[in-house]
């Protein structure tokens, strides 16, 4: 399966504001994902970023004018409008939003907006008072109502004009996530996904803890992919510094016990639970209050560890006991050379529908890596996926979850 944005045609309008530099970074991210990007600069955006920068980053000529004969013969504004699968404007100034909302076609970008059938995504950026002005809000509402425009941001923060408040364009990585949401098939619309991610952290005393090397990247990728495909997503995350994927509800926990409570509370409402978290299998029997001191502990210190509750196996048991077919249950397993082991026993022991085994024994896979190589085990056998970025692996795992959601027997009763 090609990556989600591979060869997708995106017209990126950059309008004139300080945040135009973020548009340049967005081009880089899109090109890295394999998208075909045509940049359209408004006249005022040319004061902030150069055509040369954007042409170099996008690998395509940059369009700036309706009336430039050379550009029109090379790019052609109607062809751009016709071929676009998505029109993104980032940053979108109050002026561009107003002109779009009133159907103006007085420059190249507004003309493409009227001429294209592609959906519209706006990433507004402006002064907080301009953003809050009822006319700007009415203009945006009009675009949302009349053409289902999507809007990402703006964020709160320090603004270039010196004010603090809403009006900052969201970061390019966030716009990229919103673009994924616009272009992904919406085959998980109406589904509720509960996803866990990251390590857990089991206290030894007030300053020490037992944890593991999980970065959370794989679980966050599954959450991002499920959200892009239209699911309502709740992400129960162990300690990690990763940013919450766009549109995902996040619940932070530290210990396996806290993760269990957070998951069990929400599992019955979920159509699928994907347990990506590396939940500690053992925890110190008793966390010592205060700090364990060397002079007291002596030359050797023995910690007695006890098993934690297996959250996934608990869900599997509860589902079986209730004779329920939902939620669909997906486990992950950290394995050295998964191909060499039969994972069917683990699948049955956990009572889950799919088990995704990460190969943690090889470079470019498993903990903290940006790519992964997995084997997916189901009741009817297993399948090895080629090494790929974690987001792509996430989409491929979800492709295998979709038919389970659609099985008549697995619909909620």
Q: Does 277 bind ligand CTP (CB under 6 A)?
A: yes
Tell me which stretch binds ligand CTP (CB under 6 A): 161-169, 274-282, 319-327, 376-384.
274-282
> Partners of 381 in the beta sheet?
378
Question: Within 244-263, which residues bind ligand CTP (CB under 6 A)?
Answer: 256
Question: Binding of ligand CTP at residue 273 (CB under 6 A)?
Answer: no
Please, what's the b/e burial string for 29-61 (b: 16 or more CB within 10 A of its CB; e: otherwise)? bbbebebbbbbbbbebbbebbeeeebeebbebe
Q: Is 26 or 360 the residue whose CB approaches ligand CTP more closely? A: 360
Q: Name the residue nearer to ligand CTP (CB basis): 116 or 308.
A: 308
CA quadruple 177, 378, 310, 305: dihedral, nearest 10? -100
Binding of residue 130 to ligand CTP (CB under 6 A):
no
Q: Which window, 2-10, 134-142, 164-172, 275-283, contacts ligand CTP (CB under 6 A)?
A: 275-283
Is the Cβ of residue 130 or residue 277 nearer to ligand CTP in the bound state?
277
Count of residues in the chain: 413
Decide: 115 and 77 in contact? Cβ < 8 Å: yes
Written as six digits, the tokens of 400 are 């295998």
Q: CA distances (Å), 278 to each of 149, 225, 260, in order?
A: 39, 19, 13
Of 197, 294, 296, nearest in space to 248 by CA: 197
Complex with ligand CTP: residue 152 or 352, whichever CB lies closer:
352
Smallest gap, in angstroms, from Cβ of residue 287 to ligand CTP?
17
Is 279 one of the binding residues for ligand CTP (CB under 6 A)? yes
CB of 352 to ligand CTP, least distance (A): 8
Per the residue annotation, which of 161, 182, 201, 352 is the catalytic one?
A: 161
> Distance between CA atoms of 58 and 142, rounded to whole angstroms?
31
Q: Report the C-alpha gap between 196 and 277 in whole angstroms.
A: 5
Helix axes 390-406, 217-228, angle to 10 degrees: 50
| Contact indicator for 378, 347 with CB cutoff of 8 Å | yes
Pair 190, 230: CB distance under 8 Å: yes
- Rule CB under 6 A: which of 309-348 touch ligand CTP? 310-312, 331-335
Element housing 374 (H / E) = strand 374-378
Active site residue 161: yes
Q: How far is the CB of 349 from ligand CTP (least distance, A)?
A: 8
Which range in 47-55, 120-128, 306-314, 397-405 contacts ligand CTP by CB under 6 A? 306-314
Least CB distance from residue 402 to ligand CTP, whole Å?
19
- Using rule CB under 6 A, residue 353 touches ligand CTP: no
Q: Which residues make up the interface to ligand CTP (CB under 6 A)?
A: 196, 256, 275, 277, 279, 281, 308, 310-312, 331-335
Catalytic residue positions, numbered: 161
């Amino acid at each position: 399966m090609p990556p989600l944005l591979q060869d997708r045609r995106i017209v990126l309008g950059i309008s004139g504001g300080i945040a135009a530099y973020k548009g340049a970074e967005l081009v880089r991210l899109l090109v890295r994902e394999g998208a075909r990007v045509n940049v359209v600069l408004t006249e005022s955006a040319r004061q902030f970023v150069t055509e040369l920068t954007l042409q170099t980053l996008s690998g395509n000529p940059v369009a700036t004018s309706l009336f430039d004969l050379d550009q029109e013969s090379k790019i052609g504004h109607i062809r751009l409008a016709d071929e676009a699968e998505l029109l993104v404007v980032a940053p979108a100034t109050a002026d561009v939003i107003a002109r779009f909302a009133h159907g103006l076609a007085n420059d190249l970008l507004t003309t493409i907006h009227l001429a294209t059938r592609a959906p519209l995504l706006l990433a507004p950026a402006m002064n907080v008072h301009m953003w809050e002005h009822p006319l700007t809000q009415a203009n945006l509402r009009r675009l949302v109502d009349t053409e289902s425009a999507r809007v990402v941001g703006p964020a709160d923060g320090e603004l270039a004009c010196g004010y603090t408040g809403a009006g900052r364009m969201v970061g390019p990585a966030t716009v990229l996530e919103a673009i994924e949401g616009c272009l992904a098939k919406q085959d998980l619309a109406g589904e509720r996904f509960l996803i866990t991610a990251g390590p857990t952290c089991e206290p030894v005393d007030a300053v020490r803890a037992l944890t593991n090397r999980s970065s959370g990247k794989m679980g966050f990728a599954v959450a991002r992919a499920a959200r892009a495909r239209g699911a309502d997503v709740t992400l129960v995350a162990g300690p990690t510094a990763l940013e919450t994927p766009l549109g995902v509800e996040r619940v932070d926990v530290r210990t396996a016990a806290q993760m269990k409570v957070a998951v069990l509370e929400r599992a019955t409402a979920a159509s699928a639970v994907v347990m990506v978290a590396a939940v500690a299998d053992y925890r110190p029997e008793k966390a010592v209050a205060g700090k364990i001191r060397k002079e007291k502990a002596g030359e050797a210190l023995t910690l007695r560890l006890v098993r934690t509750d297996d959250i996934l196996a608990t869900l599997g048991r509860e589902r079986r006991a209730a004779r329920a077919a939902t939620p669909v249950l997906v486990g992950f397993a950290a394995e050295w050379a998964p191909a060499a082991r039969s994972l069917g026993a683990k699948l049955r022991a956990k009572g889950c529908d799919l088990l995704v085994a990460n190969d943690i024994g090889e470079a470019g896979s498993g903990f903290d890596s940006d790519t992964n190589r997995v084997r997916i085990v189901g009741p009817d056998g297993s399948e090895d996926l080629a090494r790929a970025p974690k987001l792509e692996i996430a989409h491929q795992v979800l492709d295998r979850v979709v038919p389970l959601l659609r099985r008549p027997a697995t619909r909620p009763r």
